[in-house]
Chain A
Amino acid sequence: MLRRIAGSLYWAARYLERAQWRARLVDVNYNLLLEVPPRHPEPWGPLLQITAEQELFASLHEKVTEAAIIEFFVFEKQNPSSIRSCIEAVRNNLSPLRHLISSELWVAVNRLYLECPEWSAQSLAASGVSSFFADLQRDFYTIEGIIDNTMPRDLAYDLMEIGTMLERPDNVSRLLDVKYHYLLPKLEDIGGPADMRQWAAVLRSASAFEAFRKVYGHAIRVNRVVEILVFDPAFPRSMRFCIERLAHVLARIGQEEEQAVCETSPCADLLAMLRNGTAEQTILDGLHEFLIRIENMCARIGEQVFDRYMSLE
Chain B
Amino acid sequence: MPKIPDFVVPPPLRKPAKPGQGGTSKGQAPADLKTAPPVRPSHGERFAGQAKEAPVDVLAWVDQRTAASGFLTGLLYRKVPKGTNWFYTLGSATLFAFIVQAVTGVFLAMYYTPSTTQAYASITHINNDVPLGQFVHGMHKWGASVMVILVFLHMGRTFFFGAYKYPRELNWVIGVVLLILTMTMAFTGYLLPFDQRSFWASIVGININGTGPIVGPYLSDFLRAGPELGATTLARFYSIHMLLVPGAIIALIGAHMYLVVKLGTTAPPWTKIDKPKIAAPVAQLDAGVESNGASPGNGASPA
Query: Are A and B genuine complex partners?
Result: no
Interface residues of A (CB under 8 A from B): none
